[in-house]
A and B are shown apart, each in its own frame.
Chain A
Amino acid sequence: MRWGVLIFPGTWSHQDFAHVFQDVLKVDWGYIWHKDTSVAGYDCLFLPGGFAHGDYLRCGAIARFSPIMDAVIRFAKGGGPIMGSCNGFQILCEAGLLPGALLRNTSLQYRCCWVHIRTENCDTPFTRTVPPGRVLRIPISHGEGRYFAPPETLARLREHDQIVFRYSTPDGHITDEANPNGSLENIAGICNEGRNVLGLMPHPERASEGLLGSEDGRLLFDSVLTAALRR
């Protein structure tokens, strides 16, 4: 199983993913440059955080038209697992692979801190081995992470059980105080209807080692590995 880490000009979290894959999980992985046109040979794709193309116009708006994105969209349509974290989540929304959009935090502040997210849906390749309701401690680092979707889209997300993570208190309560950016319904992460594409604002790659204060992020990567072993 080989994992691909996408790099756009301005991506900044790719080395954190690479470090976790290389040194912690010891999985086979490779970088994929945004000008590449194929993702052949990869079994799982990761869109890291950062400021792809400077986040000019809107976060992810230009990256969505990078040459590699046609291959990414085909990979998603074929059921391939994709995780977009932070800027990667924004790109997946702009590309239409996930519904909704990420807007400026209501605080107007860039928030870089630890948050808690409650696992709402365990039926994705990234959460399959996470116990339902499990609260994860993972950092965020963004200025535009306020999840928004029109009421009818939000209703569909609920109906199809596509809300994967919600910001919560450490003991799993969904409160306004636990919401770091003003996201609707405390939404921190969602998946597509096919459940193979996950987008989340928190950074699991920065919480995959005890040395860094939390290993909770690793659960998402372990989940993909476990699913692969079962196949």
Chain B
Amino acid sequence: MFEARIHVTLKKSVLDPQGDTVRSALASLGFQGVNDCRIGKFMVVRLNEREMVKARAQVDEMCRKLLANPVIEDYVFQITEVSE
């Protein structure tokens, strides 16, 4: 079994008002060195699959078709083998 840990974030060219608001909150807490803050989504998907290559291809397809919107979002994921 494989576990995919997927991060979906807004593209750099897309304004992220949530991230900006959190950055100003951090600044008001005294964290003055925070240049940028972006908010995204984190998903964990477990697959009943025996081969890493197939698991990777499936997760990539999931991201392209549903989990991320290519117009506004980027995605990255890591896959590890896990016990049942």
Interface residues of A (CB under 8 A from B): 57-58, 61, 65, 93-94, 99-101, 103-108, 146, 148-150, 153, 182
- Chain B residue at smallest Cβ distance from A146: B15
Instruction: Check A103/B14 contact, CB under 8 A, given A108-B21, A149-B71.
Output: yes
**A104-B10 Cα distance, complex, nearest whole Å:** 11
**A148-B17 Cα distance, complex, nearest whole Å:** 13
CB B56 to nearest CB in A, in angstroms, measures 21
A153 partner residues in chain B, CB cutoff 8 A: 71
**Judging by beta carbons under 8 Å apart, are B71 and A182 in contact?**
no
Could you say which interface size class chain B belongs to? 10 to 19
B14 partner residues in chain A, CB cutoff 8 A: 103, 148
B10 partner residues in chain A, CB cutoff 8 A: 103
B72 within 8 A of A: yes
Interface residues of B (CB under 8 A from A): 10, 13-15, 17-18, 21, 66-67, 69, 71-72
**A137-B15 Cα distance, complex, nearest whole Å:** 28
B72 partner residues in chain A, CB cutoff 8 A: 101, 103, 148
**Judging by beta carbons under 8 Å apart, are B66 and A57 in contact?**
yes
**Judging by beta carbons under 8 Å apart, are B18 and A104 in contact?**
yes
A61 partner residues in chain B, CB cutoff 8 A: 66, 69
The 8 A-B pairs at the shortest CB distance, nearest first, are namely A101-B71, A101-B72, A106-B17, A108-B17, A101-B69, A58-B69, A148-B72, A148-B14
